[in-house]
């Protein structure tokens, strides 16, 4: 059978994924740039005609493609000014691809147009400063790693373990060779921490400063940070210069909240949040109560049993994540929304922010339990019930989880 020849999509085909309003806005901005180019204005005037869409990388990718199609000598410099400092892979990849297309069409693209990318794992290039952060663990702890030349702090790695409740747990200044650095990262992997996210240095500094302010009289870790604090501010940036998380990922409008909360329910299954699940000893009493619902001597329909099980889930969620501690979970969800944004996972970032908004002071219990936290409880019950099953498990009742939910290994 003759194979069909693959048709290469047109460069502008990506814009078809935009909403009509976004498409119209894109065309308007490109037209303004084209008119400015014809008027031979300077770079700053060009930048005034078009601004990146900070919260939507897809729109920015479409914008790069459309600007690249103009084939004007000023476009590479404009693209570099707009997106050269982008911290996510989606925009960086699209920028490099657009500049390559311009170069193949005969438009001059200087080799040093974009800043060199700094290594985020292992040693940064000489003179470079970098910061990486871990996700937030269920205890509220996270890791912040600052990297730089040894001449700045007296070592090339400052590794901190911080708690959003207790402040600094550890802060260690290390001088690591390249071989030592591999062992350093491997040690984290042995603890189940594999994902690190490059962070704007000022954001990493703000995390450190917030930990310090929570417990200024802490132990040796706090003392180490205080000794290096001024140098950290000078070289990695002042915490006040960090991005405002409420501006980067603002509250979700009501029209979009339902879809984002449904995504938040799915997000609870993500490996990043495995450590947020209740511990087995915490979930065991609730599993026993769930069994009572399943084995009730009363003649109940499946729907009645499901209603009882759902009410039990609400009760368990409130007990395991009590109201007095919800401000901590709100803060963690907001920080994780930014973490996911840095990874380029915009839909998940929006979902985390939507779940955080439910814990605001203007919300009430009348809206029901937070679907993200409730789903954590649901899956903890599921895992606990799976561990109790014999080697040849019976068919699931479906009261806790739908039958088609994937089996995950708990961290």
342-381 pLDDT, tens digit each: 999 999 999 999 999 876 554 544 345 788 999 999 999 8
**What is the CB-side half-sphere exposure of residue 48 using CA atoms within 13 A?**
8
Structural tokens at position 345: 């996972």
Mean pLDDT on 242-249: 90
Are residues 67 and 79 in contact, defined by beta-carbon separation less than 8 angstroms?
Answer: yes
Task: Domain of residue 154: give its range.
Answer: 130-241
The 10 Å Cβ neighbour count of residue 244 is: 9
How far does CA 298 lie from the centroid of its chain? Answer: 46
Does residue 410 belong to any structural domain of this protein? no
The pLDDT of residue 213 is: 96
Confidence band of 53 (pLDDT split at 50, 70, 90): low
Task: List pLDDT tens digits, range 136-149.
Answer: 998 899 999 999 98
The reply to whether 231 and 260 lie within a common domain is no
% of the chain beyond a pLDDT of 70 = 80
The answer to whether position 112 is within a domain reads no
Report yes or no on 207 lying in a domain.
Answer: yes
How distant is the alpha carbon of residue 138 from its chain centre? 15
Structure confidence at residue 96 (pLDDT): 87
pLDDT at position 297: 66
Confidence of residue 407 (pLDDT cuts 50, 70, 90): very low
pTM for the full predicted model: 0.62
Under 8 Å between Cβ of 277 and 410: yes
Whether 213 and 265 share a structural domain: no
Q: What domain count does the chain have?
A: 3
DSSP 3-state assignment of 163? Answer: strand
pLDDT at 28 > cutoff 60: yes
Q: Report CA-CA distances (Å) from 37 to 33, 107, 344.
A: 6, 15, 31
The answer to the question of residue 182 being in a domain is yes
pLDDT at 206: 96
Confidence (pLDDT) at 208: 97
Question: Are residues 64 and 31 in contact, defined by beta-carbon separation less than 8 angstroms?
Answer: no
- At 188, phi and psi to the nearest 5? -65, -40
Residues 183 and 88 in one domain: no
Same domain for 312 and 277 = yes
Angstrom distance (rounded) from CA 279 to CA 286: 12
pLDDT at 384 exceeding the cut of 70: yes
Contact call for residues 313 and 374 (beta carbons, < 8 A): yes
Q: Which of these ranges, 11-25, 117-131, 137-151, has the smallest mean pLDDT?
A: 117-131
Which pLDDT does position 190 carry in this prediction? 83
Higher pLDDT, 292 or 56: 292
Q: Residue 125: count other Cβ atoms within 10 Å of its Cβ.
A: 11
CB 175 within 8 A of CB 123: no
Within a domain: 5: no
Q: Strand 130-133's sheet: what is its strand order?
A: 167-174, 157-163, 141-147, 130-133, 197-198
Same domain, 168 and 294: no
Tell me what the mean pLDDT of segment 260-267 comes to: 90
Please give the pLDDT value at position 395.
Answer: 43
What is the per-residue pLDDT for 47? 73
- Residue 147: phi and psi, rounded to 5, are -125, 140
Alpha carbons 112 and 110: distance in angstroms, whole number: 5
Question: Would residue 124 count as lying in a domain?
Answer: no
- Sign for the CA dihedral angle at 22, 25, 31, 34 comes to negative
- Helix-, strand-, coil-residue percentages of the chain, each rounded to 5: 55, 5, 35
Are 133 and 161 contacting, i.e. CB atoms less than 8 angstroms apart?
no
Instruction: Clarify whether residues 204 and 326 are in a common domain.
Output: no
Q: Is residue 117 part of a domain?
A: no
22 pLDDT more than 90: no
Environment class of 352 (CB within 10 Å of its CB; exposed 0-12, middle 13-18, buried 19+): buried
Domain boundary among 188, 213, 241: 241
- What is the pLDDT at residue 7? 40
Residues 150 and 218 in one domain: yes
172 has which bridge partners? 159
Q: CA-CA distance, 376 to 71, in Å (whole number)?
A: 51
Same domain for 166 and 212, yes or no, is yes
Helix (H, G, I), strand (E, B), or coil: what is residue 63?
helix
- What is residue 325's predicted lDDT score, i.e. its pLDDT? 84
DSSP state of 198: E
Q: Are 51 and 21 contained in the same domain?
A: yes
- The DSSP secondary-structure symbol of 108 reads -
b vs e for 172-210, b when ≥16 Cβ sit within 10 Å of the residue's Cβ?
ebeebeeeebeebbeebeeeebeebbbbbbbbbbbbbbb
Q: How confident is the model at residue 410 (pLDDT cuts 50, 70, 90)?
A: very low
């Amino acid at each position: 059978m003759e194979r069909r020849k693959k048709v290469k999509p047109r460069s502008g085909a990506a814009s078809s994924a935009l909403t009509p309003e976004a498409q119209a806005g894109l065309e308007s901005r490109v037209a303004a740039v084209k008119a400015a180019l014809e008027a031979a204005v300077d770079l700053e005037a060009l930048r005034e005609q078009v601004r990146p869409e900070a919260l939507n990388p897809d729109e920015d990718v479409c914008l790069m493609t459309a600007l690249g199609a103009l084939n004007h000598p000023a476009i590479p410099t404009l693209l570099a000014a707009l997106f050269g400092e982008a911290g996510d892979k989606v925009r960086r990849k699209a920028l490099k691809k657009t500049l390559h297309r311009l170069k193949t069409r005969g438009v001059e693209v200087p080799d040093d147009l974009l800043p060199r990318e700094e290594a985020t794992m292992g040693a940064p290039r000489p003179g470079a400063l970098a910061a990486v952060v871990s996700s937030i663990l269920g205890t509220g702890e996270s890791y912040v790693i600052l990297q730089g030349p040894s001449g700045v702090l007296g070592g090339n790695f400052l590794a901190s373990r911080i708690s959003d409740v207790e402040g600094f747990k550890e802060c260690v200044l290390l001088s690591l060779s390249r071989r030592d650095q591999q062992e350093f990262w491997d040690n984290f992997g042995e603890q189940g921490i594999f994902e690190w996210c490059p962070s704007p240095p000022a954001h990493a500094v703000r995390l450190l400063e917030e930990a310090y302010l929570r417990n200024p009289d802490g132990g040796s870790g706090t003392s180490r940070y205080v000794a290096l604090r001024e140098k950290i501010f000078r070289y990695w940036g002042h915490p006040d210069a960090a991005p405002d998380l409420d501006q980067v990922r603002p509250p979700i409008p009501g029209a979009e909240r339902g879809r984002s909360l449904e995504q938040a329910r799915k997000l609870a299954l993500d490996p990043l949040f495995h450590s947020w699940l209740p511990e087995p000893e915490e979930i065991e009493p609730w599993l026993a109560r769930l069994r009572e619902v399943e084995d009730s001597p009363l003649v109940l329909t499946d729907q009645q049993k499901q209603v009882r099980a759902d009410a039990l889930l609400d009760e368990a969620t409130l007990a395991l994540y009590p109201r007095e501690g919800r401000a901590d979970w709100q803060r963690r969800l907001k920080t994780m929304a930014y973490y996911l944004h840095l990874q380029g996972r915009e839909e998940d970032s929006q979902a985390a922010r939507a779940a955080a908004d439910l814990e605001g002071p203007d919300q009430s219990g009348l809206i029901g339990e937070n679907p993200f936290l409730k789903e954590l409880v649901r899956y903890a019950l599921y895992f606990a019930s799976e561990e109790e099953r014999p080697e040849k498990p019976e068919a699931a009742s479906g009261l806790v989880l739908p039958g088609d939910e994937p089996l995950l290994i708990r961290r």
